[in-house]
Structures are given as C-alpha cells and as structure tokens.
C-alpha cells in the first residue's frame, strides 16, 4: 500500500522516516481557521481528519497520514504566528507558564473507507524569559511555521524548564502514537450486534468468531462496524453504528459518557432490568446451581431512577486558583486509569444538592490558592468533597477532605455554607495523607452543625455520621428489608444472628418480629452507630458487639440461633467464616450481597455444607449502572 504524508513540514517528513523508508508527500489544502477552536483537542483531531480526507479524495488507494499540532495555554490555542509581532506576543504569554502541546493524528484510506484517529498530549513548562532572549530567538526567523512560535529542538533548555510526555510530539509528530495507530489501522474489522453487557465494566458485548467481543460505547441492541484493538479482553472500537438499538434513549446527564458514575443512562430502564435479571439466571447456571430448582423472583425496580443515591465522593482537581469538582473519568478500554476528574455542574443520580453546594465550596477553597490533589502525582491539597443526603427528611452533610495541614478558615466556611446551602445540617473536615485514592474518615473534625444527619425508613430513625455505612439507595433497600421481615415472620424464626451488621438496620427491623437479635461487625464505629440507633428507636431486644465474624461464629453455640442474616462486603465470606457458619448448623440463612459473583460462589460452598438455595431475588439499588443487590434465602437440608 502506498503511503502519503499530508504535510509539507520537514520535521514530520524526518520523523515519519523512522517508520517508512518510502512515502510520498502531498500537502493538504484544508483551511484550519474553519474549525471550532473552543476545545483544543477536538480542534486538533478535526483538523487532522480533514487533512487526511482532503488528500485521500485525490489518492483513494493510498494510506494517507495527516497530523495537526497545536500549542494551548488553558483552552486558548496558539497556532502559527502571522508575523513577528504575533510571535513575540505568544512567547511572552508562554514565558514562565506550563502549556500543552497536542497533536491530532489521522490515518485514512478512502478505497475501504477506513479511518483511525488518535492524539498525543505533552506538557511543556517554559522558564521565565527575558525580552532579550525572546528578541534573539525571533531574530533567527525560525518561528513562522511553528505552532506557538517555537520549535523545541531549536530552543532546547534555553526556554524549556520541564517537559512531561513525548518529546517527538512537541517536535511535531508523535512517532510512538503513530505506530500504535498503524497497528489499529491494520486490525481486522467486523459487523457485530451488541447482545448483552459485562457486569464488571458495564461494556456491551457481542460475538465475533464465536467468542465474546467487548464493545465499549455501544448500547445493547446496536448493530455496529467495529475494529479489534485488544486481545485480553477482546476489545473492539466502534467505527460506525449501522443500526441503533431500539432501546436507546437520551441520557439525562450532560456528562454521561465521560464521567465514570453511570454506564447505562442511554439504555431504556426496562431493558436494564431485563438484562440484570437474565444475568442472575445465567450466573446461577454457570456455577452449577440449577435455576429451575430455585425460585428466582422478578427483579425489583428502584423506586427512583434519579436522585436515589444518598452518598457521593466527589473529587477536586485543578491548579491553584482553578479548582473544580467532579467524578473520576470512565475507564478507557484496555488502558490504565489516569485518575482524571470529569468536571461536574450537577449529578442527577445524587440530586440537586450537589449543584447548590459546589459553588460555595469552590469559591472558598479556590481563594486559598491551593491546588486540587492528583492521586497519581500526589500533588495538591484539596482531595474530596463527600456529600451525604437523607432521602426522608432531606438533611445534608458535607465532608471536606484535604491533605494534612492547617486550614484555619474552614470553620468560617462551614458557617457560611450552612447559611446558604438548603438543608445543610452538618459540616466536617478530614485530613487524609494516604496515597490510596480512597476517603479515610479517621480523625474527622466537626466544623459546624450537628454531628449527624437522620434518615427515616419504615417508621424507624437512623443516625448517619461521616463514617457510617448506610445502603446507598434507602428506598430500594426498604423493599428488600420488607421481604426479609415477611420471610422471617413466615418461618417463625425467634433468635437471630446478624453478621456484618453495620449500623444495624436489618437487625433493628427484625427486632419487631423476633425474640432476640444479636449483631456482629468488625467496625467499632459501626457497632457504636448500631447501639445508638437501637436507643433512638427504643429497641431493647437487640444487642451489638464488635468482632470479626470468623471469631464470632466460632464462639457461638450450635443451638443458640435459628436464623443468621449475612450482609458481607463485596468480597463475600472468607473461608473461615464459611466453615464457622456451617459448623453452627443454623436452620435458616438470609444472605444479602452487592456482588452476585461472590454470592454465588459462597452459595455453592454452603451447598456442600448442607444448605440449599431456595429463593433468590435481585433489587436494582443502582439504576444506570451494571450493579444491583441480591437477596438469597437458604435452608439447611433436613430442617422444617
């Protein structure tokens, strides 16, 4: 295949020579000024694609390679200067500043209508430049055909203080990126139907050559033309949608697709439920549990599709004076997470409270001149803003998470936030110097308001403190709690052991029905919260104790309980816990889990110890995501 470079740049000719020993040069006649410059990355990609298509029209059988390199300070694009005066202005603007060099690359062959695009970004920091240094460089007249008015290979250390990324990209052609794009260009293509979703990532998938083919960006039901870009797992990049899915809908959130909070907002909710229910049945069968031998009830829909979450951990980002808040970006297929923050103005799955609080927090935090924390570089000060909102009385808690260090103005901020933000009842600060990108509430300091907020559920009140666990979708959780209570009444259970009880919600509701209930959890804060909730609701027949489940079941008597309720974390039950539960020979088990895979694994282990899964139902605690909750009812063989 003939190769054509759609550029007259001698630097690009030299760099392309590292890959191809022979190629032709056919410059494009595209006018770059016709493209929208509001987004630098989109501009570079659009210009590169237009150049490739322009030359490709004249050379349909050739592989046309085009590129467009820009320099941008913030979102302002610095192109090639028109004259010396404009070049001097650009260099003065870049002096002492960190800027980005972005190259958009496009590969196009018209004969088969094959297009591949990509980009490379490099950060360049100039040291402060004197007027004499700028004039001396301009006097060499090497600036006219260069984006940003400079060529890095010519100015070198005289101008550049730091360069992060691909040096060749700053020269004008990211050779390593081009090699990857060439590999993608040569990859096989296929027409695929998105049949189902992957519960881990939320990606749609179809089948190619009888094997699973993951299709990030597709909606179940889409028919697409896609190109293979990865083998483990088999990832395909969508080139075009041949026929859109009949279940496609408009996403409610403007950030959908880039934000990592949701995966299915553009999929009809009824179809979301059907896919999740079918996934339950398939997973049972794959684990050797006959779905026909288990009563699998229809999945319970969430009472609310938006505004259902009661807790969100938003992340700060941005340089000093340019703070923003948002959520981590959606995972990129086959690539490690860059921990980049997608800036949010609102969050529909949490509700309107975020839009009310964000401006207040950003105004005060931004005035400090401190930057947002980046979990990769571990630089910056402001880490997270955690918002918790009860869905009954609508009370709001804000937790400001920073790196360690004095922040004397925080108490005054908290007072102002409580005056101006509707329903804000509690404000805290947490200092977190851990390297992990997680919020640790140890050592939380109350800045203003109440030490807790209160949720009302099923006629009971629950106090929520900064570290408290509470089901993220309370109204959906109530649907399962009602089923648990009804089943326990039908069984006539009297003595209940609650394992991984957290704040004790299930145990407290069961206290209305049974003689005695005991909750066990390894978290001292969780047990204190459970005891507080018991006192708040006047419950006297429930007690709670701190302890590891493995130890608690080992110390219990075999005839002490007639029912155990299990609500473990996502990783499920440890082997010691499974063995201990089996040794107690408790007649009935109720197992609640947010991870179907570990639930099924544990159910299979329990089956080998004499427990049969009688009934299973799922509840959609997490609309627009691949996640959901399951509730299993197990009976020990030989018991009534």
Instruction: List the catalytic residues.
Output: 68
Task: Quote the strand ranges of 32-97, DSSP E.
Answer: 63-73, 76-78
The closest of 131, 133, 128, 238 to 194, measured between CA atoms, is 238
Any idea what the Cα angle at residue 170 is, between residues 165 and 173, rounded to 5°?
105
d(CA 242, CA 240): 6
d(CA 624, CA 273): 10
Task: Quote the strand ranges of 522-638, DSSP E.
Answer: 542-546, 563-566, 588-593, 611-619, 629-636
Pairing type for strands 114-126 and 98-109 reads antiparallel
d(CA 540, CA 516): 9
Residues 6 or more apart whose CB falls under 8 angstroms from that of 209 comprise none
Residues 6 or more apart whose CB falls under 8 angstroms from that of 223 comprise 191, 192, 193, 194, 241, 242, 243
Task: Quote the strand ranges of 74-153, DSSP E.
Answer: 76-78, 98-109, 114-126
- Which residue carries 């079918």 as its tokens? 278
The three state secondary structure string of 430-489 is: EECCCCCCCCCCCCCEEEEECCCEEEEECCEEEEECCCCCCCCCHHHHHHHHHHHHHHHH
Q: Is residue 36 exposed (0-12), middle (13-18) or buried (19+ Cβ within 10 Å)? A: exposed
The closest of 328, 403, 415 to 364, measured between CA atoms, is 415
Output the six-digit token pair for 279.
């996934």
Any idea what the Cα angle at residue 601 is, between residues 596 and 603, rounded to 5°?
90
Q: What is the DSSP letter of 399?
A: E
> In degrees rounded to 5, what are phi and psi of residue 51?
-65, -45
Do 414 and 396 contact (CB within 8 A), yes or no?
A: no
The closest of 165, 131, 24, 8 to 80, measured between CA atoms, is 8
Do 429 and 444 contact (CB within 8 A), yes or no?
A: yes
Q: What is the DSSP letter of 267?
A: B
Do 70 and 78 contact (CB within 8 A), yes or no?
A: yes
d(CA 316, CA 342): 10
Output the six-digit token pair for 508.
């407290």
């Amino acid at each position: 295949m003939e190769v054509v470079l759609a550029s007259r740049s001698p630097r690009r000719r030299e760099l392309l020579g590292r890959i191809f020993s022979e190629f032709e040069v056919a410059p494009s006649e595209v006018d770059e000024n016709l493209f929208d410059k509001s987004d630098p990355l989109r501009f570079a990609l659009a210009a590169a694609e237009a150049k490739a298509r322009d030359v490709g029209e004249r050379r349909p059988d050739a592989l046309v390679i085009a590129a467009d390199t820009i320099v941008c300070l913030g979102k302002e694009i610095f192109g090639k200067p028109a004259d010396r005066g404009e070049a001097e202005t650009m260099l003065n603007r870049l002096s002492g500043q960190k800027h980005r060099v972005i190259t958009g690359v496009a590969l196009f062959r018209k004969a088969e209508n094959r297009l591949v695009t990509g980009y490379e970004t490099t950060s360049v920091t100039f040291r402060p430049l004197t007027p004499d240094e700028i004039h001396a460089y301009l006097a060499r007249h090497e600036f006219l055909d260069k984006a940003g008015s400079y060529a890095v290979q010519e100015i070198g250390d005289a101008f550049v203080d730091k360069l992060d990324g691909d040096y060749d990209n700053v020269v004008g052609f990211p050779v390593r990126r081009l090699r990857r794009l060439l590999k993608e260009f040569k990859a096989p293509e296929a027409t695929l139907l998105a049949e189902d979703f992957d519960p881990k990532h939320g990606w749609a998938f179809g089948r190619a050559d009888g094997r699973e083919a993951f299709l990030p960006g597709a909606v179940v039901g889409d028919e697409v033309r896609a190109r293979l870009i990865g083998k483990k797992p088999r990832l395909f990049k969508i080139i075009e949608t041949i026929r859109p899915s009949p279940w496609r809908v408009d996403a409610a959130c403007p950030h959908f697709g880039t934000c990592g909070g949701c995966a299915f907002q553009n999929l009809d909710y009824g179809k979301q439920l059907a896919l999740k229910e079918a996934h339950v049945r398939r997973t049972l069968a794959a684990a050797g549990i006959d779905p026909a031998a288990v009563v699998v009830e229809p999945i319970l829909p969430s009472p609310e599709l938006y505004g259902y979450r009661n807790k969100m951990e938003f992340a700060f980002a941005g340089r000093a004076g340019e703070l923003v808040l948002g959520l981590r970006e959606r995972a990129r297929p086959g690539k490690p997470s860059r921990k980049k923050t997608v800036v949010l103005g609102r969050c529909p799955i949490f509700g309107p409270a975020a839009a009310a609080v964000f401006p207040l927090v950003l105004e005060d935090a931004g005035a400090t001149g401190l930057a947002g924390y980046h979990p990769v570089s571990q630089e910056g000060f402001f880490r997270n803003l955690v918002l918790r909102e009860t869905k009954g009385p609508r009370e709001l808690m804000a937790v400001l998470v920073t790196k360690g260090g004095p922040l004397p103005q925080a108490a005054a901020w908290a007072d102002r936030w409580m005056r101006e933000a509707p329903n804000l009842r509690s404000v805290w600060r947490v200092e977190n110097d851990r390297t992990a990108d997680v919020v640790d509430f140890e050592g939380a300091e109350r800045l203003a308001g109440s030490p807790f907020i209160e949720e009302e559920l099923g006629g009971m009140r629950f106090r929520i403190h900064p570290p408290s666990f509470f089901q993220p979708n309370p109204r959906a959780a109530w649907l399962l709690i009602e089923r648990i209570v009804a089943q326990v009444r039908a069984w006539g259970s009297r003595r209940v052991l609650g394992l991984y009880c957290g704040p004790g919600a299930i145990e407290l509701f069961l206290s209305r029905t049974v003689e005695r209930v005991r909750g066990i959890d390894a978290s001292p804060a969780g047990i204190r919260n459970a005891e507080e909730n018991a006192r708040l609701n006047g419950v006297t027949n429930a007690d709670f104790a701190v302890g590891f489940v493995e130890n608690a079941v080992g110390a219990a008597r075999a005839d002490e309980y007639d029912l155990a309720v299990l609500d473990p974390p996502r990783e499920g039950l440890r082997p010691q816990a499974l063995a201990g539960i089996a040794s107690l020979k408790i007649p009935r088990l109720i197992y609640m889990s947010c991870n179907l895979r570990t639930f099924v694994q544990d159910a299979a282990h329990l089956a080998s110890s004499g427990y049969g899964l009688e009934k299973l139902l799922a509840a959609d605690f997490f609309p627009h995501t691949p996640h959901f909750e399951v509730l299993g009812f197990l009976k020990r063989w030989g018991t009534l």
